[in-house]
Amino acid sequence: MYELFEHTADLGLRVRAADLETVFAEAALGLFSMIIDNPESIRPLEERSLELSGDDREYLFFDWLRALLSLFESEHWLLAKSEVRLGPAGLTARLWGEPFDPARHLPAHEVKAITYHELTVKPTADGWLAEAIVDI
C-alpha cells in the first residue's frame, strides 16, 4: 500500500489506503523502508506513544513523518509498526520498534528532511492518497 517514486534528486513516498489512519500507518513504514534496506528485520520490541496537534490534514501528515524521522535521528530508533488514531485536533499513535542495530539493520539512505514539495493528502474514488518527497 506504499511505494517509492522518482524525483530527480530525492525520493518520493506514495501511499494509498481505504482509510486515512491506515495511510498514516503505511506512510510510517514507507519512511523507514527509505532509511533501512531490510525494514522487515525491524522488530516490534518496544512500545512508545506519540501525540501531535494540528487541523490541517497535509501539515499533520508532514508532522507525523517528521516526528518519526526525528526519533531515528536523535535516538536511532526504528519503527516496525504503528496504530494511528486521527481526531479533529490532531493524532495519537502507538508505535512499536527497536533501536538501530548495525549488525542487523542495513542502512539505505540518509533521509535528511521531509519536504513540503508536492505534499498531498486527498480523497480518491476508493479511499485516500498521500504523497511526500523526502530529501536524501
For other proteins, the binding residues (CB under 8 A) are 4-12, 35, 37, 59, 66, 70, 73-74, 76, 100, 102, 106-110, 112-118, 131, 133, 135-136
Helix, strand, coil percent content, the chain, rounded in steps of 5: 30, 45, 30
Q: Where are the alpha helices (DSSP H) in 5-124?
A: 20-35, 57-75
Residue with smaller CB distance to other proteins, 6 or 47:
6
We find the least distance from the C-beta atom of residue 127 to other proteins, in angstroms, to be 18
d(CA 136, CA 44): 26
Q: Please give the backbone phi and psi of residue 103, each rounded to the nearest 5 degrees, phi first.
A: -75, -25
Residue with smaller CB distance to other proteins, 26 or 63:
63
We find the least distance from the C-beta atom of residue 103 to other proteins, in angstroms, to be 12
Residue with smaller CB distance to other proteins, 53 or 94:
53
The DSSP line for 1-23 is -EEEEE-SSSEEEEEEESSHHHH
Residue with smaller CB distance to other proteins, 88 or 102:
102
We find the least distance from the C-beta atom of residue 83 to other proteins, in angstroms, to be 25
Is the CB of residue 48 less than 8 Å from the CB of residue 95? yes
We find the least distance from the C-beta atom of residue 133 to other proteins, in angstroms, to be 8
Cell of 58: 497535509
